Homo-oligomer: A and B are copies of this chain.
Amino acid sequence: MITFGCPDRTGIVARISSFLAEAGGWIVEAAYHTDLETGWFFTRQEVRADSLPFDVTELRARFAGVARSLGAESDWSVHDTSERRRVVILVSREGHCLYDLLGRVASGELDVDVRAVIGNHASLGDITEAHGIPFHHVPFAPGEKAAAFARVRELVDEHEPHAVVLARFMQILPPELCEAWAGRALNIHHSFLPSFIGARPYHQAHTRGVKLVGATCHYVTADLDAGPIIEQDVIRVGHADSVADMVRKGRDIEKVTLARGLRWHLENRVLVHGNRTVVF
Contact = CB atoms under 8 A, between A and B. Distances in A.
Main secondary structure of the interface of A (DSSP, over half): mixed
Interface string A127-140: 10010000000000
A39 B84 CA distance: 28
Contacts of A17: 11, 13-14, 17-18
Contacts of A20: 14
A155 interface: no
Contacts of A210: 192-194, 229, 232
A210 B193 CA distance: 8
Interface string A229-271: 1111110101110100000100110001001000000000000
A10 interface: yes
Contact of A277 (B194, B209, B278): B209
A96 B103 CA distance: 6
B229 A209 contact: yes
Given A10-B21, A26-B10, A192-B195, A233 B208 contact: no
Interface in A7-46: 10-11, 13-15, 17-18, 20-22, 24-37
A14 B102 CA distance: 41
B100 A95 contact: no
A236 to B, nearest CB: 8
A224 B260 CA distance: 33
A249 B274 CA distance: 24
Interface in A182-217: 192-196, 207-212, 214
Contacts of A29: 34, 240
Interface of A: 10-11, 13-15, 17-18, 20-22, 24-37, 51, 94-96, 99-100, 102-104, 106-107, 109, 126-127, 130, 192-196, 207-212, 214, 228-234, 236, 238-240, 242, 248, 251-252, 256, 259, 275-279
10 contacts: A10-B21, A11-B17, A17-B18, A35-B239, A95-B103, A96-B109, A99-B102, A103-B103, A127-B130, A236-B236
